[in-house]
Amino acid sequence: MINSENNKLTIKKLLQLNCFNVSIIIISIIVFFYILNNNIIINDNDRINIITINALLIGFLFTGLGIIISGLEKDRIKRLNNNYYLDEFFYGIYIGVLFLCISMIISIILFIKLIVNCCILKHFELSFLISGMLYFLKSVYSLFTLTEKIRKK
């Protein structure tokens, strides 16, 4: 962290930089309660598809992370990183990977029937999948924004 007074990361600045991430978390909570109130049936074929989608999106998120990290050598991107503006991109990818991994683990547990007839896990499975997909879309948008900044010069 840079010790300069202008570059100090405060809670207010952290919330401003991550307002999109916070809004996705709020949407995710709403989605969870929607799924909780509706009886959504998932069979084993759907569960295999959920595992595949999770793995695919996690791979794309890690690829995006690699693209962002490779862009850090550019002076313009380095300045953004030093002033904490890239934290929103990194946090979005980290949270997206976390949510998709949780969904995939729950799907695997339910598929191999380690836990049977646990309705709350089924709700969490879908909620984390949808939340992870929202973070994936946000990360794709962030990557487009960042690549435009890298290409400008």
Query: Whole-prediction pTM value?
Result: 0.81
Across the chain, mean pLDDT equals 83
How far, in Å, CA of 112 to CA of 66, rounded? 33
Instruction: Kindly report, residue by residue over 71-124, the tens digit of the pLDDT.
Output: 788 887 788 888 777 887 888 899 999 999 999 999 999 999 887 777 788 888
How far, in Å, CA of 135 to CA of 153, rounded? 29
Instruction: Kindly report, residue by residue over 15-28, the tens digit of the pLDDT.
Output: 766 777 778 888 88
